[in-house]
Structure 1
Amino acid sequence: MSALTLHQNIAKFTPEDVAQLAQRLEKDEYNSPFEGLQDWHLLRAIAFQRQELAEPYLYLLDIETYDEA
């Protein structure tokens, strides 16, 4: 999927869509690790483009800020 297509799809996401995505990630019952990674990357993209939708599920991304000082 191209970056433009992904961006267009993310614009159409509803809170219910993101909740379903988060539920899949929480259950972690994928047929392959790549399926889980694909959902993880999708949630990450949503967090960057539509933070209000992903905010309740940021714990699934395990993103930490680092102090490089």
Structure 2
Amino acid sequence: MGSSLQGTSMPITPESLDAFDDDKVALLAKRLEDDDYPTPFDGLSDWHLLRALAIHRPELTGPYVHLVDQEPFDED
């Protein structure tokens, strides 16, 4: 806890995803691994953010894919 990203409800946009680097993704993953959130919605928000990063910035999320628990799906 105590991260500058925690508790923020910033919209997930290409610009917000571009602002992430290895250190910020590591902090996000640590929060998800610790699962110590004041509300379930805070954890869900971080999970959605990591999932968006895994889709749009996979080079940053390789070590943390297990936290996203992505299942293959058919978009058709």
Fold equivalence (TM over 0.5): yes
Query: Matches of residues 13-24 of structure 1 in structure 2 within 5 Å?
Result: 13-24=20-31
RMSD: 1.7
In terms of Rg, which structure is larger? 1
Q: 1:60 aligns with which of 52, 57, 67?
A: 67
In structure 1, stretches of 5+ residues that fail to align are none
Residue 11 (str. 1) matches residue 24 (str. 2): no
Per the normalisation by structure 2, the TM-score is 0.77
In structure 2, stretches of 5+ residues that fail to align are 1-9
Identity rate of aligned residues, in percent?
A: 48
Which stretches of structure 1, 4 residues or more, deviate above 3 A after TM superposition? none
The one-letter code of the counterpart of 2:24 is D
1:65 CA displacement: 2.7
The one-letter code of the counterpart of 2:30 is Q
Q: 1:51 aligns with which of 53, 58, 62?
A: 58
The answer to which structure has the higher helix fraction is 1
